[in-house]
Amino acid sequence: MTNSNSPPAPQSFSLGPHTPTPKPGLSPRGMLFLCAATILAATPSAHAQTAPCGLTSMTETVVPHYPPIARMAQIQDNVVLMVIFAQSGKVESLRVITGNPVVQAAAIAFVQGWQANAFTGPRECPIVIRFRLDRDSTDLDAHAVRSDLQHVALHSAFPEPMYSDSH
């Protein structure tokens, strides 16, 4: 049975973030370290290990193409696309963010043939396709060099000169 004449038990409420009470003998730097360690300990380590955009694998079903007109004009550029992958991993839609219009269609056709890993839902990922001409190469067909799941370089040989200076 409670005594109706006794004062209510004290309660504390906070309207803002809690500021830890400094411990005697703890320097401001030590307090900062303590706060940082507390935050890091409360952060799940899985966040740091998550793959970008949930991409863990990618299958290319379309052969890359370096447009002949781009080769002849010696166009080398990056095409940045924002790609929406469906839950199944299929390319649902994409839009060009930047890139030379001469190579954009080739980048779009290449990426539309990609199949990513399945995921818990649709996701939007930036994809960069780099068009590069190699002076040391004689291969006119483009070949893809993937640096990671979101960055691919399409390499092709420089075009042969159309005329020579010796007449």
Is residue 17 within 8 Å of residue 39, measured between CB atoms? no
pLDDT at 114: 96
pLDDT at 149: 92
Domain 52-157 CATH superfamily: TonB (3.30.2420.10)
Is residue 78 within 8 Å of residue 128, measured between CB atoms? yes
Q: pLDDT for 85-130, tens place per residue?
A: 999 999 999 999 999 999 999 999 999 999 999 999 899 999 999 9
pTM metric for this prediction: 0.66
Domain range annotation of the chain: 52-157
51 or 149: which leads in pLDDT: 149
